[in-house]
Structure 1
């Protein structure tokens, strides 16, 4: 009986010896050293969130106005007055008054940024002494003011 038991159990037990050999990966020589200098990605640094949000134009200045199918040209305030020109050599300026203040403005002046003599955001886009015109821009529109002949106070400084 013992012989039959050995014969039965000997056939039923299988030897499942699996041998696995784990080897460390081999890297090419190019990747063996850590680079000493990091390459520039060429990506631009993002603006701050407030700067980014302010750069996105939104809606109308007054959202409660009824819808308009016509483009409305911004009007120059009634308190703005174009009084004359002054030229010194190569530079030319315009005499103006706005909100009870008066003085001179030149091409490139921006209201609220470089001068108090213009409404906020308005730009002096051109001064033309020969045609007596002052061109003001606001957003995508332009307004042209003509100097009245009876109010021409053209002053030249002689040195």
Structure 2
């Protein structure tokens, strides 16, 4: 009986994760240290290479903050994101994040990516900022408890 209950629970968890949008968790300590100090480490598959190049190449002007890194670390972080960008990978999540992306006019940030916009209505997005536990637009974990592990619930 215990085996059957355990198996049923394991299948339920597997099924729920299979329906979630998932990314490979970021375990690279250099990337975590460089990016995770200020916000959650965002998954390269969320944006195309052109966007990552623009974001990471201009860290002194990182969305109103100076996020400068030494040249070696910046090159490392850029290379990490370019190698797994949405337009490079063929994972389910990368394909979803590339859907409707115009590579001639790529999104400038995750919140302007077509996938993000489709998943977060304007009214929902506004309500999110009214919640006390949402600290910033980079605070995905406030609503998606497993975001840092690469799991976003699919509705």
Question: Is the shorter-chain TM-score for this pair beyond 0.5, marking a shared fold?
Answer: no
Q: Which TM-score tier does this pair reach, normalised by the shorter chain?
A: under 0.3
TM-score normalized by the length of structure 2: 0.24
TM-score normalized by the length of structure 1: 0.24
Higher helix share: 2
Q: Which structure has the higher relative contact order (CA within 8 Å, separation 6+)? A: 2
